[in-house]
Chain A
Amino acid sequence: MKHVLKLLSLLVVISALWIGLLQASIIPQSHTWLLPIYFVVSLGCYGLLMVGVGLMRFPTCPQEALLLQQDIAEAKDFLKQKGVDVGSD
């Protein structure tokens, strides 16, 4: 099943639940009508939270740049010795 269809079926199930709630009146109607808005807003907030947390915890590796420079120097030395042209690009 194509992914978009999976998402749409999920949406259909959630909508069915919502309509069911509207008809069953377990929660006062005025609240039930607003549930989709709460849902969308929560989803948006969750997304923003995930972005923020991910940004804060974004893994960086400053030491890798240094290690890379060392590797490059080592490689250039070896290759120059063996006759490979490692002049600047």
Chain B
Amino acid sequence: MDAAKNKYSIIVPTYNERLNIALIVYLIFKHLRDVDFEIIVVDDGSPDGTQEIVKQLQKLYGEDRILLRPRAKKLGLGTAYIHGLKYASGNFVVIMDADLSHHPKYFPSFIKKQLETGASIVTGTRYVTGGGVHGWNLMRKLTSRGANVLAQTLLWPGVSDLTGSFRLYKKSVLEDVISSCVSKGYVFQMEMIVRASRKGYHIEEVPITFVDRVFGSSKLGGSEIVEYLKGLIYLMITT
């Protein structure tokens, strides 16, 4: 594939990310200087004025580089990707979080990995050397590690970081996989990568660092654990 002809559509779902969206856009432009890309912001009717900020960014960077495709209200991550995909003109799609836990500086390594290997999906992993997490206490690390070992034992997923949502997909592959996924939240991310793995798509991993600035305000309680276990069982039975 001719590298010069590749275009990357970056879908960023937002909800109340007035400040972060501006920072992310700046960082994306900083780290992707010689790459053809567009940013598709799917905002779910944020009450904090996120869309106004995006419009200011459009004036600064161009409406052809930043697409604002909002929705009326909070409708969930999976549908946000599907919505964004409708407007994506690239042959590759990147999905990432808007809260700066995912840093755009890793884009070049995602792109490089894909060009080197021809992979259909490149997924960021926090759990290998070169990657890492900051902002988690021991308990959080323990639950993360325990959840991961359980998922590896039960699902044989083929990737080291199942719940990660920093990924590069070939557009056709994303369209194929997303159409068969029905879960919500982080189980959705797991379902995407497991289904892709089952369908035999070539998946590669690159190490990424994850700075959790919101942990502490969101506790990992009993109900999250139950949801996770239900998600694992669902994936065991349906994939």
A interface residues, Cβ below 8 angstroms from B = 2-4, 7, 47, 50-51, 54-55, 58-62, 64-65, 68, 71-72, 74-76, 78-79, 82-89
Contacts and interface: CB of A to CB of B under 8 A. Distances in A.
Contacts of A51: 142, 145-146, 149
Interface residues of B, number: 48
Contacts of B23: 71-72, 75-76, 79, 86
A10 B133 CA distance: 35
A68 B153 contact: no
Which applies to chain A's interface (DSSP): helix, strand, loop or mixed?
helix
B239 A88 contact: no
A87 B128 CA distance: 36
B211 A68 contact: yes
A45 to B, nearest CB: 12
The 8 A-B residue pairs whose C-beta atoms are closest, nearest first, are A61-B132, A59-B132, A75-B26, A89-B19, A54-B145, A61-B209, A4-B236, A64-B209
Contact of A3 (B126, B128, B131, B236): B236
Contacts of A64: 103, 132, 134, 209, 211
A89 B48 contact: yes
A47 B60 contact: no
Contacts, number: 103
Interface of B: 16-20, 22-23, 26-27, 48, 52-53, 56-57, 59-60, 100, 103, 126-135, 138, 141-142, 145-146, 148-150, 153-156, 198, 209, 211, 235-239
Contact of B134 (A3, A61, A86): A61
Contact of B211 (A3, A54, A65, A84): A65
B67 to A, nearest CB: 17
